Each structure stands twice: as structure tokens, then as C-alpha cells.
Amino acid sequence: MTQSTENSVQSRRNHASGRPVDPDPSRERAIEHIHAHAERIKQRELETAFTKLGNQGNLTESQREIIADMADTLVTELVAPPTQSLRNARSEDRSDVQTALKLFDPDSLSNGE
């Protein structure tokens, strides 16, 4: 890698996380919406599951942690592909952002974001 290429790559990196910073903030904003939407669904479904399981008997803290860890893993695995696709996109075309939001956070489109 040449020095100018290395400097260019480094200048696009987020200093806090070391991840490349997308020069198009709408892609990063779409990623934030997707993750927030997935987190809301996860929390809602965990509450439902814990309520149902709690009604059947005592659910130990260890069991709650196992279920919560599983939910975290599912969310992480499901949002990873669209996140990577958006971060790796370099075209000026914004259709990828709209498609990702339609698929993974349709509510954000109706909110005008």
C-alpha cells in the first residue's frame, strides 16, 4: 500500500472504533436505524418470552441470561450482512440505503428519515 493510499484509508477511519467512516453519512444513519429497530424487536420479544416463561414457573437468572445472550447473537447475525453491505458500498446511488431500510426498518421510511 502506498503512503498516500494508507493515509487516505486512515483518514476515513473512526478514531474511537477503528472502523472505516462512510463518507456518505446516510449509509451510517441507515445502519443506526437498522440496529435500533432490531434492538427494539429483541427487547419486545424478550419481555414477551420472559413473561410467558415466568408464568410457567420460576425462571432462574442464569436461564434469563442464556435466553438474552441467544437473542443478542440472533440480532447480531441477522443485521451483520446488511451492515457490511452498506459499509462496503462505494456507489453514489442511494438505492442500497433505501432497500436496506425497506427490508430491515420499514418504520424509518414512514417517519421521513
For 52-85, how does the pLDDT look when each residue is reduced to its tens digit (9 = 90+)?
A: 988 887 889 999 999 999 999 999 999 999 899 8
DSSP 60-99: -HHHHHHHHHHHHHHHHHHHHHHHHHHHH---S--HHHHH
Lowest mean pLDDT among 61-65, 91-95, 105-109: 105-109
- Lookup result for grid cell 447480531: 76
Asked if 19 contacts 88 with a C-beta cutoff of 8 angstroms, the reply is no
Q: Give the CA dihedral 38, 43, 70, 48, nearest 10 degrees.
A: -130
Distance between CA atoms of 47 and 55, rounded to whole angstroms? 12
